[in-house]
Amino acid sequence: MTTITPATRMPEKGFALPAGHARKDGPATPRRRSILNLLTVLCIAGAVLMLGKSSWIMLKAEVSQVLLARAFSQSVAAGEAVKPWSWADTWPVAEISIPRIGASAIVLNGATPESLAFGPAHVAETPRPGERGTSVIAAHRDTHFAFLKDVVVGDLISITRSDGLTFRYAVTGMRVADWNKSGIDAHAPGHKLVLSTCYPFGSVVHGPERYIVEAAMVK
């Protein structure tokens, strides 16, 4: 058995080269950078294909919330709407959080299919959170409102609007109803909040039922 002492230690790869064999990996040329960029894109594309449709939806939902959070912070600081990306047809209007379960999300303006693909959205035909009546926020059951299944009566919901004002609501109940028989009254007395998503949770089939979380404002 050969004992390797400091004096006889074998040279480590990458530290010594035989004479006349100069290292050739100098500064990257434009052509080399293009090849590296192409390989990176191909790797990402391959990863997306391996993830599958459902995982891709989850990934998009999480990444979009990072961009929306940045735009929301800018909106609060500037006092005006800031789009999350230049071609967006919506913008952040609030941040919703439920401390007990550690859930939070940025809420977009207008519950259109395009908006709901990126986050919860405020239904435009209802009052803003904090105003008199029933404010309604909707989101998909498999992404941004998947946590609604963990909400219980008494949970506190905090909503901070883009104008910096924060309002708190306490959950008063949950129910399931057809989308066209929800019984939600946007002009109901008091200050109320409804969080709505498709039902049942975990289903991949679109159906008429909605899971409705109802809450009332607390001081």
Identify the domain containing residue 98 by its residue range: 63-218
Q: Give Cα separations from 69 to 72, 77, 151 (angstroms).
A: 5, 12, 23
Residue 31 pLDDT? 55
In a domain, 50, yes or no: no
pTM value is 0.73
Separation CA 217–CA 219 (nearest Å) = 7
For residue 186, what is the domain's CATH number? 2.40.260.10
Residue 63 pLDDT? 80
Q: Is 168 helix (H, G, I), strand (E, B) or coil?
A: strand
Angle, CA 55 vertex, CA 37 and CA 44 arms, to 5°? 5
pLDDT, averaged per 10 consecutive residues of the chain (219 residues), comes to 35 35 44 50 46 55 87 96 93 98 97 94 97 98 95 98 97 96 96 97 89 96
* Phi/psi of residue 34, nearest 5 degrees: -65, -40
Total domain count, the chain: 1
In a domain, 100, yes or no: yes
* Phi/psi of residue 79, nearest 5 degrees: 75, 20
* Phi/psi of residue 197, nearest 5 degrees: -150, 170
Separation CA 67–CA 85 (nearest Å) = 8
In a domain, 2, yes or no: no
